[in-house]
Structure 1
């Protein structure tokens, strides 16, 4: 697997000011070096990790953290399972697919428990319900989780794929397609593309969120390879504790958390967009079962619902027990 997945990790975009490499080596002051690979280039959703670095939260827990950009959840999950990164931040659908294909990786806490999956469009399009999508052109990316779950979203709202015109476009091109008018809407995360489109086009953007129209499932969370879970469970526990503390602190001061991302990457959106992205992310942290609990605390019932949804939508062929995907023994508590 290491040979197959060699070269998957993207270039490092940010190294914590304290430096350090990966692999759990001891750093200055006794802190362990660890790498975290994101699902994509840094954007507002990732603010808690940068805030945690700035506030010394990871260092306090004995971790010298290095953050790396990702190139999609699928690659991040595979790299985490192969031990090419200590931890990953990726979509649960990509995790479930990888586990079914034998990749030795597990979730150690899903943070975005309400999916940010949505249909996005300029408000002037006068789209307010899924039925208004009939006859519209939809920008999607072939093979991603959104494309796989969109038919289920349509079906739950009395429609089918033939009611819309699907246009497969690369991830970066979807926004350009909507801005130029080449497509009416796009499929994306409410915590990602929308604020950027609004800023670039100078027009209001609206959403049909899957979660508000009958289809919810787990999205992004923290991952670790089975090898690391067995070899160094203490490092995993420290990372879990530090991540939960960083997200809790960021939730209490969104502006400071967004500001902490300054200089994270050349591709980073403007400060206004980063803040809006993070504020939207904060609306996705819980389900009814976890309201009032700390970020990252998961419910076994929510896991079962998510797994069932993935099976029904064809993301996975066979549903397994939550323990196949989620290492509850080290997951966040509180």
Structure 2
């Protein structure tokens, strides 16, 4: 090889090395948001997705914030935005109108809206044991359902816990007319209990209970519907029929990411709750959020799904849910899970 050829060959090798180093450096250079250029490119390639919650953020929602923080949704190609809701019915209707791609809503409200023609489908229920319960102060002397006789309980007409309350009383062997029901909105129920204007309230044990305990400094006793054998599905993920038809790959990734986020948050509850800090001005205090999320963990499975990933539903649980909700008049009779639930996106273990 001539001297000229040798020099040219070495120069090409050096140039290649410099180019490779430059590429490596670029991949590791921080972007303006604190990530790497590669991460920034990944975010640019991700699909913008809005999830509307059933209510203002509380402990149950920790997995979504934790999934964001840990990059679980990003790993599935999703740039997730979380939006507060104002009740499951409004969330269901917003999803049905394609105002947002996904919603997090109570199954009875979802099914009732489908019966009314709202074009949505359940993608999987995550809270598989109902949190519905009668909540009373532990020092009230109410220790079992029979003790509700002669008491006044705050309810919210039309919601699932209130509508199924007669079924709970029947299962518990308590005459319905033995309990006085005072109809109040969600905030009014909590206020009435805090001021001792009622003996208790009906609601979600993992929501109101920890809040009332923190504000009152008194312990709460929960008379759970599931304790008397009355169980039905609660909150889960929904999408519009349009989203499912137009972008099934996105739907599959969203379900998978949500399942992974719930599993990760259940493994590390404290870290999951910490990820919520500062995300919403109406969020409860950290200790309340922690209690809310820890209570939620107990609701994620039934005996039929004990070994499954979060969000995997069992046919027998759907059948039980439909039986309870049709018996209480919340949904039409004679329906099947296929009328409401798309099981083609079930997450893998």
Relative to the length of structure 2, the TM-score reads 0.87
How far has the Cα of 1:318 moved from its partner? 1.8
Work out whether 1:279 is the aligned partner of 2:287: no
SS at match of 1:297: coil
CA distance in 1, matches of 2:220, 2:320: 30
Which residue is equivalent to 1:71? 86
Work out whether 1:228 is the aligned partner of 2:261: no
CA distance in 1, matches of 2:77, 2:298: 30
How far has the Cα of 1:304 moved from its partner? 1.0
Which residue is equivalent to 1:205? 220
CA distance in 1, matches of 2:348, 2:201: 36
Counterpart contact for 2:63–2:262, Cα < 8 Å:
yes
Work out whether 1:98 is the aligned partner of 2:121: no
How far has the Cα of 1:162 moved from its partner? 1.1
How far has the Cα of 1:156 moved from its partner? 1.2
How far has the Cα of 1:264 moved from its partner? 1.8
CA distance in 1, matches of 2:165, 2:56: 24
Which residue is equivalent to 2:24? none
Structure possessing the higher radius of gyration over alpha carbons: 2
Which among 213, 218, 221 is matched to residue 233 of structure 2? 218
Counterpart contact for 1:27–1:33, Cα < 8 Å:
no
Counterpart contact for 1:27–1:64, Cα < 8 Å:
no
SS at match of 2:64: helix
CA distance in 1, matches of 2:222, 2:253: 37
Which residue is equivalent to 1:4? none
Which residue is equivalent to 1:116? 131
Which residue is equivalent to 1:248? 263
Which residue is equivalent to 1:61? 76
Residues 320 and 176 (structure 1 numbering): CA distance in 2 closer, same or farther, change over 3 Å?
same
Which among 121, 143, 148 is matched to residue 128 of structure 1? 143
How far has the Cα of 1:145 moved from its partner? 1.2
CA distance in 1, matches of 2:124, 2:339: 13
Aligned residues: 311
Relative to the length of structure 1, the TM-score reads 0.91
How far has the Cα of 1:142 moved from its partner? 1.5
Superimposed CA distance per residue, residues 23-48 of structure 1 (whole angstroms, 9 cap, x where no aligned partner) = xxx98431000100000000000000
Q: Name the Cα RMSD after superposition.
A: 1.4
Counterpart contact for 1:39–1:89, Cα < 8 Å:
yes
Q: Any unmatched runs of 5+ in structure 1?
A: 1-16, 19-25
SS at match of 1:269: coil
